[in-house]
Structure formats: structure tokens, C-alpha cells
Chains A and B, each alone.
Chain A
Amino acid sequence: METYFNTYFSKETKTANLAVFRVFFGIMMFFSTLRFLSYGWVDKLYIQPKFFFSYYGFEWIKPLGVYTYALFIVCLISSFLIIIGYKYRYSIIVFFLCFTYIELMDKTTYLNHYYFVSCLSFLLLFLPANRRFSLDAYLDNSLNQEYIPKWNVDCIKVMLFIVYFYAGLAKLNSDWLLEAMPLKIWLPSNYDLPILGSLLQKEWVHYAFSWGGALYDLMIPFLLLYKPTRWFGFFMVVVFHVLTRILFPIGVFPFVMIVSALIFFDSDFHEKLIHKASKLLKLKPLNNSVVGQRSPRKIPLLIIGLFLLIQLLLPWRYLLYQNELFWTEEGYRFSWRVMLMEKAGYAQFKVVDSSNGKSFLIDNNDFLTSFQEKQMSTQPDFMLQYAHYLADHFSENGAKNIEVYVESYVAINGRLSQPYVDPKVDLAKEKDSFAPKKWILNFNDDIKGL
């Protein structure tokens, strides 16, 4: 066993794979940041709201007012530097910190694909992605390396494997497979697409998409890993992600996944890409440095190993909770449950001054944007945080002994809405933690599956 590991870790592969990955990743991030800025989302999502929903343990991360733009500009610049591979180590560190900071500012905007980008850039912190086709390598020929340890490339493959396979496993549930939910809700609303539009009204199409989607997610990592099926797998990646791009508002994510899948291809493919690009950019070829193999760097290997182990285990944390995952969402985030449920809710908060028993209802528009309200009304940790915010707000206004109650209804995957939070529980007294939230009412149904 030990020799197996030793031989594996001494294996080498062409640097080209990682270099191409770096360039594509940089390009995707550059345009994704540019797109975010051009849509005015910085102002809308991070400057206009009065209140921000923090991740547990990251309450100290807040938007920086108008300086939030600076964060995005730094993101933009660093992703450009990643593309050209200039001062790579610094630019990827800066990018990772900036991007992750942005994501942690408000969990309203949590998306699996943003988390995915944070994960990838975390991996890239420790990988020598600037040893080919980079300004760094052109400026310092000793950096130019034809070969790097194989695990440097494989760890990205493992990450992608987890994303796809876990997304597939998550689809193995009764709602998805037996009810074709939530696709049965989502697909018919695309009635205005040519050709597809009328097909999407048919029930068999909903089932075909559900089963096809689950099968796709489970199979794709294997199709990409196995050389004879790789091109077919990539073809499927393109078709699938372009289709999801057409059907759902998922921004740049499909394109990120498409270019990421290129990592599975052999080195000669990436060599050719670099060769062509060099010719196009009229770059003169460099001699590969003859500097011998650097001593194996143990620390990055350990960190990456640990990171991937966490990635493998974290999505299963929901098993520690008794209640229905879709209903309570305890352990839902950060586990590649992508486009898995349609959840809608309504939360009416009541503030009570217990010193005189007087109470009033809250108009959420006074405190939250419609996007924040939408996310808040289906997720218990949001509700709790908002309740505390309300309690603090109305305590500041002179009143003490503030209690906060919520009357809420949530509908998931086409079921009729049900009461969600116990309306008799004073949320101002409840603390957020990883412990099960006992004030969430029971889900009157069963969703079977993983």
C-alpha cells in the first residue's frame, strides 16, 4: 500500500493541463466578475440592503459600503493576472481571498457554483499552475517546467468528480425520481422556447429530464475519466450545460463546468492548445527548464488531501440530523445539492413588547430586499438571524423585553404550503448553532432517498 502511494506521488504529468486550466479558470472568473459588475448587482446586492445575512461563524464579514466595488475590481484584476500568469502565487491568493470574502458577505446570494469557485481557487493556491504558458515562466525561465507531479492535476479531477457524483446522489430521492419534482414545476414555464417549449409541457419529458439528469451526474465523472468515452462524455457535458443554461437562469456556471471538464483530457490536447495559442499570440517558444525535480512538497499535499477528505465527508453531515433535509435544510448547503427543490415561503414576523404586551407585525420590505425576503422565508437560519435583527432594532428604539414570533408557511416541490416555524416560540431567545432547530415544525410528508 505504502509503495503504491509512493509510486503514485512520484508520478509526473505534463504541466500543460494545469496551465490551460489556469487560463480558462481566469477567463471565466474575469468575465463572471465583469458580468456581475455590469448588471449593477454590487449595488443591488451588497450596497442597497440595510441588513446582511451572515454565515455562522463569519458574522464579521460584511460588505464594505461603496468600497465593496474595490473588492470586485481587485477580483477582476487578479483574475486577469491569473490568465496571463503574472505573479501567479500572489494573484491566486488575492483572488481566493477576495472572491471568498465576497461570497461570505451575505448568504442570501449563496450558490453552489460560487462555492465551487472558492473550492477550485483554494486548490489552485497550492498548485504550480504558472509553470507553463505564463508570464512568470517567460520572465523567469527556471520556472518553466514541462512536468509536474501528477497529483497536482488529479486533485482537480477529484474535486470535479465529487461535484458531479454527489449532485447525482442527491437526485436519488422520491421527489426527483418518482414525482419528477421540481422539474415538473420548472420546465412548463419555459413554454416560450421554440420546439422545446411545447415538449416541456408533457409529463414524460419531465420524467425523462429527471432521470436523465440523475444519470448524467452519476455517469459523467466516469465517462470523463475513461479515455475511450472521454469525447462522448465531453459532448454530453456541453449538451447538458448548454441545455441547463437555456432552461434556467444559472449565469456563467455552465461555462465554468464545460471548461473545467477539459482537465480530464490528455496532455497532448492541452499541449496543442498551448501551441496554437502561442502561435496566435506570436509568442516565441521557451526552452523547458532543465532544473531537476524539486523536492516533493509535503505540506500542500497534506492540505489538499485534508481538504478533499472534508469535501468527501461534509455533504453527509445531514445524516446527523433527524428531520427531513429538504424541509429543515440542516446540512443542505455546501453539499452539491444543485437545482434540487422548489421551495417557496411566507414569513410574517410579529414583534411583541413583553413589558406591556403590545405587538405589531413587520412589513419585511422595511428591512429586507425582495431577494433577501425570498431566501429568508424558506430557510430557518435566515429567519433566526432576522428575528434577532428585529429584536435588536426595536430594542434600540426604546422598547425593552422584545419578543419576536413568526408565522410562516413553506411549500416544497409542489406540495401545498404547510406551517413552518412554531409560532409560539420566541425566536429572539433562540440561539443559532449546529444543533437541530427544534422550533421547526414537522414536515407532514416523507421524501425518501439519499
Chain B
Amino acid sequence: MTKRNEIDALRNLSGDIWNVAVDEYAKGYLKRRDLFKYAALIGLTGFAASQGLGFSGQARAATAGGTVRVGLGQPTKAIDPVTVTDPASIGVLSQVGEYLILDDPKDGLQPKLALSWEADETAKRWTFKLRPGVKFHDGRTVTAKDVVASFERLVDPNSGSSALSAYKGILSKGGAKIVDDETVAFDLDQSNSNFPFYVSSDVYNAVILPADYAGDFEKNFNGTGPFKLESFRPKQGASFVRNPDYWGDKALPDRVEIKFFDDEQAQVVALQAGQLDVIPSTTRLELAIEGNANFKLLSVQASSHDAVHLRTDQAPFTDKRIRRALALTLDREAIVKGLLKGRAIVGNDTPFAPIFPSADSSVPQRKQDIAEAKRLLAEAGVPNGFEVTLTTERAYDIPDYAVIIQNFAKKAGIDIKLNVLPQDAYYGSATFGSSPWLDSNLGITDFGHRGTPDIFLNATLKSDGAWNSAHFKNADYDALLVEYGKARDLQAQRIAAGKIQTLLLDETPEIISYFSQYSRIASAKVEGVRFTAISHLLLDRVSFVQA
């Protein structure tokens, strides 16, 4: 039987850890795509290619040439990979900067400057083989020294690195080591089976830069990417040309031209007038192109979500029955369909988005149940409901989401007053005691996409988490996190995940009712625009449709 042969062939590829995944795939528990993603995670990079999975560059032959014109927001500061945080800067950076690994929203982890990777038995030491012969735009060859320096810079508390919170408790200064010119090892602070995600594009600051990088990136945009700098005009825009010395398939377009806009309306108008090919997307802009065949909306599923925190140490939410009652009032399907126009998946009050292979899909989905909510409120001694203030930020769809929650909560007698603040006022100083985000009784906070749930799990819900706005302190949860981090294979990860999901569903320190998609708007004339859910914009495979 071919099926049997295929499974056996797969089994021969690697050791025990891999075979668990293969078995799951054979039994139908694991989808083919997730198997590929998992293969990438444990470093079986040749595997996916051998299975004929269309990787970048292997797609149909496309015509080369032309200039891709892109609209982006205004970068909020000088573009420097070490401190970058805003979507526009990440979009610019994607043209020239590369990572060890790309977390592709379709195909999972893709080897870039790293060729392969593996962990030791404890998942505490990870070793990466670098791709030989990769050159920076200034002509120097990338070596282990550059890679180690890039990561040492990011975990140095004095560098002003904005990746510091991502690496907290995972990687510290001195953790990255040169093994030889083409091999780098990472000694982690604690076991982590998802570490490849941490050196991937998911940590958008982890661009590989020369060892002697001095913080003046805007001068020459010296990276390894498929395009190199032509000109940069601060506050105005940048242009890039094809890098003839690129290690991989050369970029199809001759040039990329990026223009910065202060106003999103101006972007969509410029797109409509044919002066731009690609712009970011928001629900407001989507209305402008809806039903127009000249434009298309491109989307990738993300783990982005708006987390509703309930302060577990403050009345009325000290009683978990009250927290559950509020969560039970929401009709999640309706929210996804109405608020998010269907471009989202329903959440189950934990950061384990269904797109994570480690999420345990057997945990029952919480659904709207007003009768049960009322019963829980009565049991908790507040049969007639209560009054509470929901504090949040005026950004994206959040104010509308707040009103929706207000209306659903009313059905169980919970009377929510809204306090919608400007975004920076809501975050305040982002430290406990002087931040409505971290101090409010009930709040909604936007979290961008991550490739693994680790940062959400650690920072927002762990007892000493820096973003623990629910003030959730639970020793069992903290212990389960350690178990999850140590789990070396997918099955063990999923068992730990299931326990965490069940515990969070029972305790409900947070309500997560959806995970939204990330979109961009493009002219129908361009093909091959790729992007990640955290603002990377990959244009090297773009071609123009002939009229």
C-alpha cells in the first residue's frame, strides 16, 4: 500500500520525537500541513522540500522586472532592527533584513540564514547550522560571529533592545556561542521546545546584522536580503533594487518603492488612483475596495487577539464563578461574523489559538449560555448582577468590541460602564501602579501575532508576568508552564497544553473570544505578495499580471 510505504518513509527520517508526529499523522490526528510545520520545527528541513511542498522560489515561473510601489504608515522613529516596533518600519526592514528562520504563515518555519537546527535531550541547548556563503550587502560573508553578536545585542539590557521582553527567562547575555564559523549554539535559561520560533522572524528584531553594527542602520541598510538600498529619505520613503548577490533565487521585481503616509485614507486613495500596488489594511479601508475587481484583500490567519482581562484580586472578579459568568454571556460566532466580518477564528479564553500545532483541540469550546451565567451569578451571591467599569483603548475595532461585550453582559444582568482612553493613555507607563492597562478592574488589550503561545502564556498569565493585567496568581498554572516548556515532542506539548487550557477555562482570568486574521490590500495587477501576521512584507516573488 502506498499509504503504508509513505508512512514508513517518513518514519525513517528522524528519531523518536519525529515518530510520535508521524504516528499521529497516520492516525489522522495531525493534519498534513501541521506535520510539515512540525518537521520544520525540529529541523527536518529537507523533508518538506522532498514532499514537493511549494516553497518560495519554486512557484510557477513568473515574469521578472518592474517596480513594486508600496504604501506604508509613517515610521515612528529611526529604522533600527534592534529597537524597531512599528509595522511600517518592519515592512521596510523586510526588504533588506533576514532572519535565521522565516515563520511563514502558510508553510511554517522556513530555513533562511540557518540551514538546519537541533536541540539536545533537555531542549536547553540548541545548535544551528548556518547557510554557507551568504553575503551582507557590503560584500562581507556572514559568519557565526555575526549571528552571535546579533543575538547578544538583543539580550543586552543596555542596548535599548525591544526584544528584551521576548527573551526574558529564555535567553540571557552570554547564551549565544560560536561553535565554528558556520555553527552557532544557544544555551537557554530554561528548556524550551519552541526555541526555533525565538530566532525566527517572530521576534522581528532578530535580523542578522554584522558583528560591528553600530546602530546607524539608516545609513546603508546593510542586511542580507533579496533587495538592497537605493535611496532612503526619512519621513518620506525608501527605494530598493534587486540584490544581484543574493544567496537564494534572485528577486523578480527590479525595484521596490516605498512611500510613507501619515493618513490611511491617503493610502487607499493613492492605491485607487493607481499610484500604489500594496497597502496595509484596516476594516475601515476594506469598505473602500469591497466589490471592486481592481483590488484584492489578502489575509493570513494569525494569533492576534484582544484579551479581556478580569482582575482576579479585585471585587467583583475575585470569585471565578463571576468571571466565568461574564465569559458565558458572549456569542463568539456572532462576534466573529459581525465585528470581524468572518476574518477570524473563535477563541476559547486561552492564548492557545487553534493554529498552534500544540493546542489541544479536544478541550470543549465555551459557548454562549445565559441561563448558566445567571445560575453562576446567583450561586456567587449576585443574582441581580453588578456594575463594573470596562477600561480600554481607542484603537482598531476595540471600542466596538467593548460595546458588544456591554450588550451581551446586560443579558445576564451585568451592567458595564465604558471608559475608552486614547491608546497611549491606556498603556500609561506600562508598569504596575501607573497604567490603566495593568491596573484596571476589567480591560481589553490588543496583542499582535506570535508564532507560539509562549510569550502570551508567560507574560500575561504567569504569577510574576510583566503584563499580568488580570493579576492572576496560580501555582498550578506556573507549574504547568514549566511542564509545557520542557515537553520535547508534540504529544507531550499537547498534553501540557490541554491541562493549561482546562485550568484557564475553569479560572477564566482572561476572555479571548477570537483570533483575527492579518490583511493587506493589493492591486489586482500584482501577484505573489507575501507577508507575515507581524507586518513583514515579502516582495521578492512579486510579478505583474499582463493586461
Partners in one complex: no
